[in-house]
């Protein structure tokens, strides 16, 4: 069974996912960061494969992506690195943009995901209709979840369509902003409640702006959990001996 399916079957609340950029701070740090997050008790990891034009990302993740590209990071190298951590039981999701996936070849990409223990993929700029028409069957063939996104501007009818097509959790973008933006959880409570009323039992993970224990706790009142990215990338900046930093960061969120 897909590890994400197992996770959401057995745990329903306060799930913590942490995003980090593959090949950052150094090219070969991908496996080290993943292993430390697993050891620290994160529920699943989200690994970003860098792209030169990450349109949904704020300056922190953009900077990490540029550094990773400067380090020589590629999609092929990412899969080579993922092969070295297949023993980890933690579910893993890849996040990136459609251009490098298409250059790599969609089916080849999904084959490598299956081979290296990847459970899901987030492609924010893959249109829903294009996914449904051209790629849904390939994702199903290889047992990989395509994680779909909802934003505050998504109409109710579209939300219900996304819930119908979703095969795993839905990524609930907390605000109409880039990653790393400040989040006022009180201001988006009605949005969270609206989505919950429309998706039924579909798991929801909130992202964008969750940065500390307070924002994590707040969004978990309305969702199954949250994804933290920019705040974690900041914690890794200029810190080559980051093992203790990873454990401390996760503890600061989960307690």
What amino acid positions are annotated as catalytic residues?
46, 57
Question: In the 8-state DSSP scheme, what is residue 225?
Answer: E
Using an 8 Å Cβ cutoff, are 229 and 180 in contact?
Answer: yes
68: left (phi over 0), alpha (psi -120 to 50) or beta: alpha
Interacting residues of 203 by C-beta distance below 8 A, sequence separation 6+: 8, 12, 168, 169, 170, 224
**Torsion angle of the four alpha carbons 193, 19, 255, 186, in this order, in degrees rounded to the nearest 10:** -30
The answer to whether 89 and 39 are in contact (CB under 8 A) is no
Q: What are the CA-CA distances from residue 220 to residues 203, 205, 253 (Å)?
A: 12, 9, 12
User: In the 3-class helix/strand/coil scheme, how is 64-104 assigned residue by residue?
Assistant: HHHHHHHCCCCHHHHHHHHHCCCCCCCCEEEECCHHHHHHH
Is the dihedral angle over the CA atoms 128, 134, 139, 140 positive or is it negative? positive
For 59, how many CA atoms within 13 A lie in the half-sphere containing its CB?
2
């Amino acid at each position: 069974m897909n590890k994400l399916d197992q996770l959401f079957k057995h745990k329903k609340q306060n799930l913590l996912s942490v995003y980090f950029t593959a090949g950052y701070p150094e090219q070969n740090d991908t496996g080290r960061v993943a292993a430390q997050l697993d050891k620290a008790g994160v529920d699943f990891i989200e690994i970003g494969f860098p792209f030169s034009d990450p349109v949904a990302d704020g300056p922190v993740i953009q900077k990490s992506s540029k550094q990773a590209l400067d380090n020589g990071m590629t999609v092929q190298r990412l899969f080579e690195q993922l092969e070295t951590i297949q023993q980890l039981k933690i579910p893993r999701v890849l996040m990136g943009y459609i251009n490098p996936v298409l250059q790599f070849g969609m089916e080849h990409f999904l084959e490598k995901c299956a081979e290296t223990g990847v459970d899901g993929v987030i492609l924010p700029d893959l249109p829903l209709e294009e996914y449904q028409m051209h790629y849904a069957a390939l994702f199903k063939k290889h047992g990989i979840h395509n994680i779909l996104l909802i934003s505050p501007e998504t109409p109710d009818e579209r939300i219900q369509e996304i819930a119908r097509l979703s095969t795993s959790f839905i990524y609930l973008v907390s605000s109409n902003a880039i990653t790393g933006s400040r989040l006022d959880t009180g201001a988006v409570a009605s949005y969270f409640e609206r989505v919950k009323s429309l998706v039924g039992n579909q798991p929801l993970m909130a992202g964008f702006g969750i940065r500390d224990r307070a924002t994590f706790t707040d969004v978990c009142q309305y969702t199954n959990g949250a994804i933290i990215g920019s705040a974690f990338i900041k914690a890794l900046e200029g810190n080559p001996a980051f093992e203790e930093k990873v454990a401390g960061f996760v503890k600061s969120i989960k307690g």
